[in-house]
Structure 1
Amino acid sequence: MGDSDFKIQVLPLSKKLLRFAAHFLKNEDKARDVIQDIFLKLWQKRDELDRVENIEAFAMRMTRNRCLDILRANKVVPIDAETDRKMKQESTDIHSQFEMSEAAGQIKMLIGQLPEVQQKVMVMRDIEQLEYEEISKETGLQINAIRVNLSRARKKVRNEFIKLNSDEKERNKTIAATLF
């Protein structure tokens, strides 16, 4: 098919194809893009169009197929409730892990600002998980003194942590409660 035959037989189909695509896609801009793609493909296959019996039907089928491709590409695939729950849980877990690591960094910094005795007692009890008797042997402090220093250290770290994050007070109180 030559250039002049293409102009005579194919180009006049543009309005009909556009209406068909617009009806199919419910979006005129997407329909225009489809028609442009179809005319480009028809132009590239113009040498083979002589073998097509009904060019209009061929162009309509190409338009329909391209519209279906677009609709399939934009279709949201539903997932079952269990998969959806797992995906949300994984997302929440990652977010929680990030928040916890950020909070842990802040808490380490706050522990580093404590007086030396409170810092040592808190690290030994809360991080190293030593028993009061073991801490007493290491530090030479009485068990009652260890409890008092630990209580003061925890309270100071908790209060400073909440002050540091006062804009997200409720969330951080929960994190602080979990960590202490």
Structure 2
Amino acid sequence: MDASQFKQCFLPCHEQLFRMAWRLTGNTQAAEDLVQETFLKLWMKRDELATIDSYEGFSVTTLKHLFYDEQRKRRLPTTPQALEQLQIPHSDDMAGAFEEEDSERFIIRLIRQLPKKQQQVMLLRDVEGLDYQEIEKLTGQKTVHIRVLLSRARKQIRQQLKEMMQNGK
């Protein structure tokens, strides 16, 4: 695919990509950067794109994947030292653990121990404040499944907190 074909296929998608990026990031500059990264990635793979049926769909999917990859890099630790820091403090006194860090950060640590899908849904809903439709668009999961994952995640967090409080007394 040469430059003129690329422009003809993908530039009409720019506005839709920007709107999607803005919904994901909530920031104009970050959205512009994400769209630019998407076009760069598409350009680098231009020789493989001849068989794509929907340029619009493929570009939106690429944008979402880039966004999620960046979010994972920011949220999830990659070094053993960073993973170690995410562990719940080994303290006999759980009140002391709450004093060591604010409760929100402590809850985030508990969330990080959930299965990946539950973790993702809980972070998007309870931390990021997204509604079910936005989470559905971002994850590709049906709203019913999102509600089930969220319910299970919250139940597990409640159970862990209850056990910690009982053991900490």
Normalized against structure 2, the TM-score is what?
Answer: 0.45
